[in-house]
DNA sequence: GTGAAAGCGCTAACAT
DNA sequence: ATGTTAGCGCTTTCAC
């Protein structure tokens, strides 16, 4: 009942053995006899012993502590961080997470971890702009699209499978002309765009790319512009209002769910219904997508699987740091929700009202 | 150029002095002569020395490392975490953050920190349900509404000022009947509701409370129900549709911005315009509120100020742990954006053109 | 199988 | 003003 923490020495004294034996016994080392080990573990339990990770890390060259760096302001990242933390703990490991959003450069977050002697690290979505290749000790495992550090493993999500499923889904619903709201420049956006272009061209679906970005506001702004453009064009061409429809497009795909969220709000604010007037789909299968408020059809990028692979590999590298760097791809899969439906022109025409008349010129 | 880290010994050898002198010099201890100190610091810089925090924490009883626990899935929490981290680093401190969302109980997150010998901690919005009072070492400083640990300081946001400003704002805009979407049961929601009730009654504004919750989906669901109820009532009473308005209420206040976001989507989906038909206001001044997509009028709860106070106090308690627990309240303030406007019945009626007023004239 | 001893890098008490 | 020594709690040789 002392105020100070319980140490190995306390257990050793209680059991009547040595500190080193206790240390071995607690880590289930076979050298300690069963009987003594049980006695030691029971006493440890009883005294409420918890290993002092500082002492452990000071001495050990295979510490049970991993680092994770990611941006705490991005849901996908904190999702990874939570899963990694939970899974690590189940396996007797600890992870400490550093917030890349609190540093000018993600490399600085890694340097802070290094000050805690944490050298086995998982970096979430770093880019080449972070210049991690200049680091002496870069990340051990990278979750993302680019191998930013020569020696790091890369766990990556394959866009192809998800893009294919999405194209097939929209095709089956009768969509033949889709607007894609692209992410900001970068490898991630680039590869996704190309996967989508390939998939949609396979179904002969027109696939027009518009610059947007990764945030809700990016989607909102881009969607507002698209509506204005489309309506201006159609008013000019047909001398009539097309409010209530989105010109040539019956569906919009966004770079990610955040972007799609902004698109959805812009459309709804203009009086368009989702999915009756426009179908919407995104990437990441995030909380927004899963919410009943938006309920977005979205491509799940296999977060759980990627996290498990990254953790496995990081743990493996604690004891064997010299493994050669591998790249592992995980298939993405479409999750269908209520934001996608049959293209509006396939439905029984709405009763002609003051705002109606849109979609009449559609050639299927 | 060695592969191993630079230690105090390396510097000592390079300069030709002792390890302990280097240790003192690097911490600007006055006992070391200016000349030697400069020489040591220059060499340290040159060799790229960074203190090994494990070694430091092992020995020191006033370590420069703080802990923060909060939920990484809540924007307000990660906002606190980022600010605390940046501010701490500026002052030469380090913070390691634990994700309460990855544990069954927030107390377990504190126990993990304890294993890293981190005993000076800031807990973000813990509740009595976390039973921190059963902990030997509870948090040092609490950011939230309840003192969950006897010895902890409490940094709290005062609802009164923000509620008063909000009531005044809505009154000035002509609103006389407001719906409030309450948070889930708990001290935080309770105190906010009471502050709002008092403020609105001061302006003789009708203030009806509806149960909702803290999430977007909570707001969405509650708003959908409210619209259904209101329209059913009005149709019955007046034999006419009231679509386009929200029955007896010209404004809705939500427990927080997330909730309001759900409300906004529900309203827009039903063809109501914000703020033309309904004004909307929330709490927290979160990213959602600041976004151009939603641009919500919201009560800023003084996050920056609270974080600064919490950090000050935590640092103070590193060297003086026995300070008596204090409670500090920070005034909240209304941030006016475009989701609030004059009550709809004060505006000139909208022209009855076919295309006028996007989305209002939806025939469903 | 078990214990004694060394030492990770640092800070703090104690010498000079 | 500087150096010497001790030791934080742990893991890891290395003896026995």
Specify the pLDDT at position B229.
85
Handedness of CA A34, A35, A40, A43 (dihedral sign): positive
CA distances from B215 to A293, A314, B219, B295 (A): 10, 35, 6, 18
Give the best-scoring range by mean pLDDT among A347-351, B268-272, B300-304. Answer: B300-304
Specify the pLDDT at position A229.
85
Specify the pLDDT at position B247.
77
Upper half-sphere CA count for residue B237 (Cβ side, 13 Å)? 9
More confident residue, A235 or B4: B4
Using a 7 Å CB cutoff, list residues 42-81 of A near strand C. Answer: 58-59
Find and list the nucleotides of strand D having atoms within 7 Å of a protein beta carbon.
1-13
Specify the pLDDT at position B245.
74
Q: Which of A79, A111, A241 sits opposite B355 (nearest CB)?
A: A241
Band (pLDDT 50/70/90 cuts) for residue A311 is very high
Chain segment A143-162, per-residue pLDDT in tens: 999 999 999 999 999 999 99
Q: What is the layout of strands, in order, in the sheet containing A206-211?
A: A206-211, A177-182, A251-254, A279-283, A297-300, A333-335
Specify the pLDDT at position B355.
36
**What integer is the mean pLDDT of A12-18?**
93
What's the rounded Cα separation, in Å, for the pair A274 and A296? 10
Q: Kindly state the percentage of chain B with pLDDT values over 90.
A: 80
- CA-only gyration radius of chain A, Å: 27
Q: How far is the CA of B20 from the C1' of C14 (A)?
A: 13
Specify the pLDDT at position B362.
28
Contact B327, B153 (CB under 8 A): yes
Specify the pLDDT at position B59.
93
Contact B113, B97 (CB under 8 A): no
Specify the pLDDT at position A237.
58
- In 3-state terms chain B splits into helix, strand, coil percentages (rounded to 5) of 45, 15, 40
Q: Are strands A153-158 and A206-211 parallel, antiparallel or unpaired?
A: unpaired
Chain A residues with CB inside 8 Å of B358's CB? 243, 269-271
Interface test with A, best of B52, B72, B357 (most A CBs within 10 A): B72
Find and list the nucleotides of strand C having atoms within 7 Å of a protein beta carbon.
1-13
- CA-only gyration radius of chain B, Å: 27
Please give the model's pTM, rounded to 2 decimal places: 0.91
How many Å from the N-terminal Cα to the C-terminal Cα in chain B? 73
In this predicted structure, the answer to whether residue A31 has a pLDDT above a threshold of 50 is yes
Among B69, B74, B70, which residue's Cα sits nearest to residue B216? B74
Q: Which of A54, A86, A265 sits opposite B57 (nearest CB)?
A: A54
What does the longest C-alpha to C-alpha distance in chain B come to? Answer: 95
Using a 7 Å CB cutoff, list residues 22-61 of B near strand C. Answer: 23, 26-27, 49, 51-52, 55-56, 58-61
Band (pLDDT 50/70/90 cuts) for residue A233 is low
The DSSP secondary-structure symbol of B229 reads H
Specify the pLDDT at position B348.
57
Q: Which residue is nearest to nucleotide D7 (CA to C1')?
A: B59
Chain segment A63-100, per-residue pLDDT in tens: 899 999 999 999 999 999 999 999 999 999 999 999 99
What's the rounded Cα separation, in Å, for the pair A177 and A188? 24
Band (pLDDT 50/70/90 cuts) for residue B194 is very high
Least confidently predicted of B128-132, B220-224, B248-252, B344-348: B344-348
Chain segment B56-102, per-residue pLDDT in tens: 999 988 889 999 999 999 999 999 999 999 999 999 999 999 999 99
Band (pLDDT 50/70/90 cuts) for residue B361 is very low
Q: How high does pLDDT run on average in chain B?
A: 90
Q: Residue A153 — φ and ψ, nearest 5°?
A: -75, 155
Q: Are strands B121-124 and B65-70 parallel, antiparallel or unpaired?
A: parallel
Q: Are strands A279-283 and A251-254 parallel, antiparallel or unpaired?
A: parallel
Q: Please tell me which residue of chain A has the smallest CA distance to B262.
A: A293
Among A358, A338, A355, A337, which residue's Cα sits nearest to residue A347? A358
Specify the pLDDT at position B345.
82
Specify the pLDDT at position A248.
86
Look at residue B122 and give its three-state secondary structure. strand
Specify the pLDDT at position A61.
82
Q: Would you tell me how many other CB atoms lie within 10 Å of the CB of residue A20?
A: 11
Contact B322, B120 (CB under 8 A): no
Specify the pLDDT at position A54.
95
The DSSP secondary-structure symbol of A100 reads G
Q: How far is the CA of B126 from the C1' of D10 (A)?
A: 33
Q: Do A220 and B57 touch (CB under 8 A)?
A: no
Contact B244, B235 (CB under 8 A): no
Specify the pLDDT at position A359.
31
In this predicted structure, the answer to whether residue A226 has a pLDDT above a threshold of 90 is yes
Phi/psi region, residue A295 (left: phi>0; alpha: psi -120 to 50; beta: rest), is left
Contacts of A192 (CB under 8 A, 6+ apart): A159, A163, A183, A255, A283
Q: Do A268 and B268 touch (CB under 8 A)?
A: yes
Q: Kindly state the percentage of chain B with pLDDT values over 70.
A: 91
Chain B residues with CB inside 8 Å of A265's CB? 264-265, 268, 293-294
Among A146, A143, A158, which residue's Cα sits nearest to residue A331? A158
Among B126, B31, B35, B41, which residue's Cα sits nearest to residue B77? B126
Q: Which residue is nearest to nucleotide C13 (CA to C1')?
A: B20
Q: Please tell me which residue of chain A has the smallest CA distance to B86.
A: A102
Q: Are strands B141-143 and B251-254 parallel, antiparallel or unpaired?
A: unpaired
What's the rounded Cα separation, in Å, for the pair B63 and B42? 24
Among A108, A166, A328, A137, which residue's Cα sits nearest to residue B4? A137
Band (pLDDT 50/70/90 cuts) for residue A238 is low
Specify the pLDDT at position A192.
97
């Amino acid at each position: 009942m002392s105020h100070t923490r319980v140490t190995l020495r306390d257990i050793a004294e209680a059991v009547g053995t040595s500190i080193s034996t206790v240390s071995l016994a607690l880590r289930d080392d076979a050298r300690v006899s069963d009987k003594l080990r049980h006695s030691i573990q029971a006493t440890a339990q009883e005294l409420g012993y918890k290993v002092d990770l500082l002492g452990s890390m000071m001495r050990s060259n295979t510490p049970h502590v991993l680092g994770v760096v990611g941006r705490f302001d991005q849901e996908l990242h904190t999702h990874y961080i939570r899963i990694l933390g939970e899974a690590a703990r189940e396996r007797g490991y600890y992870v400490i997470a550093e917030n890349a959003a609190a540093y000018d450069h993600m490399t600085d977050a890694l340097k802070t971890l290094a000050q805690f002697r944490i050298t086995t690290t998982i970096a979430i979505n770093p880019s080449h702009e972070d210049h991690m290749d200049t680091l002496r000790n870069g990340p051990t495992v990278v979750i993302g699209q680019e191998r930013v550090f020569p020696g790091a493993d890369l766990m990556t999500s394959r866009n192809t499978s998800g893009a294919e499923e999405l194209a097939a889904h929209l095709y089956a619903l009768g969509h033949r002309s889709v607007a894609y709201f692209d992410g900001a420049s970068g490898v991630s956006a680039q590869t996704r765009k190309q996967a989508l272009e390939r998939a949609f061209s396979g179904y002969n679906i027109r696939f027009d790319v518009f610059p947007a970005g990764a945030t809700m506001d990016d989607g909102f702004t881009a969607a507002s512009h698209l509506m204005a453009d489309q309506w201006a064009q159609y008013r000019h061409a047909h001398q009539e209002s097309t409010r209530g429809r989105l010109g040539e497009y019956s569906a919009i795909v966004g770079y990610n769910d955040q972007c799609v969220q902004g698109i959805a709000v812009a459309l709804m604010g203009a009086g368009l219904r989702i999915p009756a007037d426009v179908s919407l789909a995104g990437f990441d299968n995030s909380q927004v997508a899963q919410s009943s408020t938006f309920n977005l059809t979205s491509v799940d990028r296999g977060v759980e699987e990627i996290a498990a692979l990254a953790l496995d590999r990081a743990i493996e590298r604690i004891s064997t740091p010299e493994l050669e760097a591998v790249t592992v791809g995980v298939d993405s899969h479409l999750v269908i929700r209520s934001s996608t439906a049959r293209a509006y022109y396939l439905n029984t025409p709405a009763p002609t009202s003051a705002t109606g008349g849109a979609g009449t010129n559609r050639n299927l």
